Amino acid sequence: MAKALYGHVGNAPDRRLLDEVTRLRARVRALEFEAARLQAENDRLTAAAQAPDELLRISEPALT
């Protein structure tokens, strides 16, 4: 632990590393948003597929 703290205190943050971390965090947020949107769309489609559709239901035989 002491070695990790000593190494951390002595080094200035690398700008390229900070930029990459910022970019990756933004990408993770965008992917989380997209995953939530797709899950909501999937839930909506699942509910629509399970709901009885009156237009597809035949109340009497088609051929008599």
Which residue blocks in 1-61 are alpha helix, DSSP H?
2-10, 15-50
Mean model confidence pLDDT for the chain: 80
For position 58, what pLDDT does the model report?
63
Q: According to the model, what pLDDT value does residue 7 have? A: 58
The structure tokens 């910022």 sit at: 22
Please report where in the chains the tokens 């939530």 appear, as a residue. 36
On the question of pLDDT at 29 being above 70, the answer is yes
pLDDT greater than 80 at residue 57:
no
Q: Average pLDDT in the 40-57 region? A: 77
